């Protein structure tokens, strides 16, 4: 397999200069774009080091990882909202329009929930799919608001993340088109604790997106899920309906090992 090309650049969004990394398949046209955000202690370099950028490109996806305002190599950029408060949806909309070449899969851990959630609720047409990883700000929105969003969603958390992991799961399960990926033995930054399981679960979810007609994407209609999805620990599970309880999330008795809040 040819090594994917990973490049670095900057983009100007709302007058702010943001750094980003991009990985593309060495051959063939990318299937779709995956936009990766990050937590407060991390940056786009995290996705480089853990191998997510390369993994996505090797599997045919275009991966774009940005450094959020005030963090990483975008530290001179001014954030559009205080940490922990929902940012104006227009910010991530502008990022998406500048970098994503159409609807993208948005991966959003921890801090980045302050950017992704407002944009999802106001501009769901920009999201091919949503992958929240124990994000903040889930309590800022109501079950009724979540219920209006038909974007395919993979809720990810570590079973040792007894705070944000469980809180975000409880709130985000109101998204009607969701599935749950629990990483066993992982803390808050679960993709760092269990990178292989993270990549397996993410790729299985992305593969399912081929079964969703573009005309049925977003708030206009329900997507159709088929088959089963690998849970990342080798087990299989069906999509978790909105009314079901994620049983795995009730078995949390350990302290989280790592936080990036």
Exactly one of 67, 161, 233, 260 is catalytic; name it: 161
Exactly one of 38, 178, 188, 217 is catalytic; name it: 188
Active site residue 161: yes
Pairing status of strand 153-158 against strand 16-24: unpaired
Angle between helices 113-122 and 89-99 (to 10 degrees): 90
Active site residue 188: yes
User: Is the C-alpha dihedral spanning 85, 88, 93, 94 positive or negative?
Assistant: negative
Length of the chain: 261
Strands (E), 145-252: 153-158, 178-183, 229-230, 236-237
Exactly one of 43, 44, 96, 110 is catalytic; name it: 110
Supply the DSSP symbol for 105: E
Phi, psi of 156 (to 5 degrees): -115, 135
Active site residue 110: yes
Active site residues: 110, 161, 188
């Amino acid at each position: 397999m040819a090594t994917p090309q990973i490049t670095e650049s900057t983009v100007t969004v709302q007058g702010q200069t943001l750094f980003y990394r991009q990985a593309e398949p060495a051959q063939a046209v990318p299937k779709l774009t995956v936009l990766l955000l990050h937590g407060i202690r991390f940056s786009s370099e995290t996705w480089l080091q853990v191998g997510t950028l390369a993994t996505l490109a090797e599997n045919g996806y275009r991966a774009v990882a940005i450094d959020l305002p005030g963090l990483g190599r975008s530290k001179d950029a001014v954030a559009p909202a205080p940490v922990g408060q929902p940012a104006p949806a227009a910010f991530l909309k502008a990022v998406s329009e500048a970098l994503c070449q159409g609807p993208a899969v948005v991966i959003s851990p921890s801090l980045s929930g302050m950017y992704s959630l407002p944009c999802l609720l106001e501009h769901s047409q920009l999201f091919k799919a949503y992958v929240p990883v124990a994000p903040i700000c889930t309590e800022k929105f109501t079950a009724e608001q979540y219920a209006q969003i038909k974007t395919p969603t993979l809720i990810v958390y570590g079973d040792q993340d007894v705070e944000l992991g469980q809180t975000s799961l409880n709130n985000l399960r109101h998204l009607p088109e969701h599935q749950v990926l629990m990483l066993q033995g992982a803390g808050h930054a679960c993709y760092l604790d269990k990178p292989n399981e993270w990549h397996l679960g993410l790729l299985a979810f992305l593969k399912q997106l081929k079964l969703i007609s573009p005309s049925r994407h977003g708030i206009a209609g329900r997507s159709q899920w088929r088959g089963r999805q690998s849970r990342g620990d080798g087990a299989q599970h069906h999509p978790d309906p909105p009314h079901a309880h994620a049983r795995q999330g009730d078995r949390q008795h350990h302290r989280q090992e790592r936080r990036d809040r």
